[in-house]
Amino acid sequence: MADNLPSEFDVIVIGTGLPESIIAAACSRSGQRVLHVDSRSYYGGNWASFSFSGLLSWLKEYQENNEIVNESPMCQKQILENEEAIALSRKDKTIQHVEVLCYASQDLHEDVEEAGALQKNHASVTSANSTEAADSACLPTEDESLSTVSCELPAEQTPSSDPESALEVNDAEATGEKENYCDNKTCVPSTSEEEISENVPITEDTTDQPKKNRITYSQIIKEGRRFNIDLVSKLLYSRGLLIDLLIKSNVSRYAEFKNITRILAFREGRVEQVPCSRADVFNSKQLTMVEKRMLMKFLTFCMEFEEHPDEYKAYEEITFSEYLKTQKLTPNLQYFVLHSIAMTSETSSSTIDGLKATKNFLHCLGRYGNTPFLFPLYGQGELPQCFCRMCAVFGGIYCLRHSVQCLVVDKESRRCKAIIDQFGQRIISKHFLVEDSYFSENTCSRVQYRQISRAVLITDRSVLKTDSDQQISILTVPAEEPGTSAVRVIELCSSTMTCMKGTYLVHLTCTSTKTAREDLEPVVQKLFIPYTEMEIENEEFEKPRLLWSLYFNMRDSSDISRNCYNDLPSNVYVCSGPDCGLGNDNAVKQAETLFQQICPNEDFCPPPPNPEDIVLDGDSLQPEASESSAIPEANSETPKESANLGNPKESPE
C-alpha cells in the first residue's frame, strides 16, 4: 500500500473521528489534495459504531493495545541533520475502566456464531450460570489485562456499519441491515439478507408462554449484526450546526434519520413523559389546566427572552434553578423545564445559560417532528463515514490500519514538513491535522483531561411502556449528591437499526467523577432489574430486565488550549475526541475553525456541483478507483434519500 501512495499532499489528516472527517471533506471539496489515515481498522475512532461481536473485538483490541510497549520510532534513520522528529504514540489511552456484565442466560455452544458473519476462528467459550452473571470481564486500568469471567470476547475483525446503509424511515423495521468489512482499500459485502434470515432464531414458535420473551446470550451473539452500538451517545438538534452542515454540503444524502419520539423525566422513582410541544402540553393528563397555562406562558417568554431584558436582568447572578423558583411555576413544572427541556445543571447553570438552552430546545421543535432531536439510522458512527465518503468523491485517499511513526519538523522554521509512516515512507504536506489520542505522553504532559463515564445496556423492554414498542426516548436523571453530574439516558428501539427486535439499546452518559460503573450503576439500578430465571417465571415485573451491560470511561479532550501541547509546529492542528454534550456543535465549530486556518478564503463545505454541469477534463476530476473504492461515489446514491432531511415539514410549536 505504501509504495502506491503519492509522496506529497496539501493536507494530511490522522484519525477518522467526526471533526477530522468534516475537515478532510471540506479540504477535499475546496481542491486540496488530502491523505486521510487511521491506525485503526475502522472509521470513526471514538465516534464509531460496532455490531455486537465487533464491540467485543474492540474490547479485545484494547486488551492487546495495553500490552504494547511504546518503543522509540524507527524513523530516526530518515531524519536529516536540520530536522527533528515528534514521535506519535502507538498506544491509545482514551478508554479506561472497562467492565462487561452479562445477565442473560449463557447457554453457549461451540457452534454459536453471528448470523451472516464471515468465516472466522472462534475463541474458546467460557460459560457462566445466571447466578454468576454479576461477575465482570474487566479492563480497569491501562496496566491490567482483560479477564473474561462472565462474557466471551469472540475473535473477529472489527466491523464498521456500512456507510451506504440508507432506507426510508417508515420502512425501518422491515428493511434488512447490511454491513461492510473494510480493509485498507476494499470492502467485502456481507452475505445476503436471505442467508441471514435463515439463521435468525424464531422465538415465536415456542409454546411455553413464560419463555416467549426469553433472550439468551447466544441469541444476542447470533443476532449480533443487528446491533450498531455507539461508543459515544449523542443526538442531533434539528436546527443544530451539524444538521445545517449536512444539508448545505448535501452529505445528508448518505444517511437517514429518525425523530426522537419522547422526552422523559425521572421523578419520585417513576419515569414520566414530558409534554414539550404545544399539542403535547394541552393533551397532557399529568398537568392541570392551570399548570398548562403557566407552562405555555413561560415557554413563550423563553422564545423571545432577549427582547425582554427587564424580566431576567435582576436574576443573572443566580442559577437557572433558583430563577425558576421566582417564576409562577409549580415544582412539577420547574422540574420538567430544568431537567427535560433546558437539560442544564441544577447547581452550576446560570439563568442566561438556562434561558438560552430552553430557547434552543423550543426553536428546534417542529422542524422534523414533535421533539427537537434526530438520530441517524445505524448509529452515530455513520456520520464520520458520510463525510469521509464526500472527501473520497473529491479525490481524498484513505488508508485504514496505517499508522504514522512521527512528524518531521524543520529545526530552522519550526514547521512540520512531512510524516514517516509505518513502512518508512516519507510523505510531504503543507498542513497536518492530528487527533489528540495520537500524540505521545511527551507532547501531552501538561494537558489536563476530563473523563466521560459511559454505559451501554441491552434490555428487554422500554423504561416507559406504551402501546408502541418503537419509541426512541431521552431521559435525564438528576444528580443526587453534590459534585456529581446528571446522567443522560438515550433509549433506542429496533427501528433505529441499532438492536435486534425484542430488545432495546440504552446509552448512559455523564461527566466522570469516579469510574464509569461507580458513576452510572446507581442509575441503572433505579431503572432496571437484572435478568434472571426467576424473573422470567414472574410476569409481574415493573422495570425492564437488564440482559447485558458495558461500562467504560472515555477521555474528553475537547476545549483544550493548543498551548497546553508541548512544542507543536504552527502547521500542526489538534482535533479533539468526543465531548460530553448531547449535540455535535462542538465538533462542527472545531472543524470550521481549523478549516478557515488552512483555507482562509474558501467556503466551508459548499454543496457539490450538479453532475450535469460538470465538464470532465479526462479523468482528472474522478478519484482513482484504488484510492477510494472503500467509499462509494456520490452518484450511486438516490436523491430520495436526502428528501426527509433537506425538506423538513415546518409545523407550529
Sequential DSSP letters for 560-581: --GGGSTT--TTEEEE----SS
pLDDT at 278: 76
pLDDT at 538: 52
Give the fold, CATH level 3, of 277-364.
Guanine Nucleotide Dissociation Inhibitor; domain 1 (1.10.405)
CATH code of domain 8-93+378-448+558-598:
3.50.50.60
Q: What is the DSSP string of 149-185?
A: SS------PPPEE-TT----GGGTTTSPP-EEEE-SS
pLDDT at 644: 57
Instruction: Name the E strands within 59-146.
Output: 83-87, 95-102, 136-139
Q: Residue 305 and residue 312: Cα distance in Å, rounded?
A: 8
Q: Residue 345 and residue 235: Cα distance in Å, rounded?
A: 19
pLDDT at 268: 86
pLDDT at 201: 40
Low-confidence ranges of the chain (pLDDT < 50): 1-2, 118-211, 621-643, 649-653
Give the residue range(s) of CATH 1.10.405.10 domains in the chain: 277-364
Give the residue range(s) of CATH 3.50.50.60 domains in the chain: 8-93+378-448+558-598
Angle (deg, nearest 10), helices 585-598 and 18-29: 40
- What does DSSP assign to residue 310? G
Q: Is the dihedral of CA 493, 247, 631, 556 positive or negative?
A: negative
User: What grid cell was written down for 175?
Assistant: 428493511
User: Quick one: how far is CA 43 from the chain centroid?
Assistant: 12
Residue type, 652: P
pLDDT at 280: 78
Q: Residue 258 and residue 256: Cα distance in Å, rounded?
A: 7
The torsion of the CA quartet 69, 70, 72, 78, rounded to 10 degrees, works out to: 110
pLDDT at 185: 38
Q: Which of 6, 78, 37, 47 is CA-nearest to residue 590?
A: 47
Q: Residue 652 and residue 277: Cα distance in Å, rounded?
A: 9
- Given a contact cutoff of 8 angstroms between Cβ atoms, the answer to whether 243 and 374 are in contact is yes
- Given a contact cutoff of 8 angstroms between Cβ atoms, the answer to whether 177 and 189 are in contact is no
pLDDT at 617: 59
Q: Which residues contact 493 (CB under 8 A, 6 or more apart)?
A: 462, 469, 470, 471, 472, 499, 504
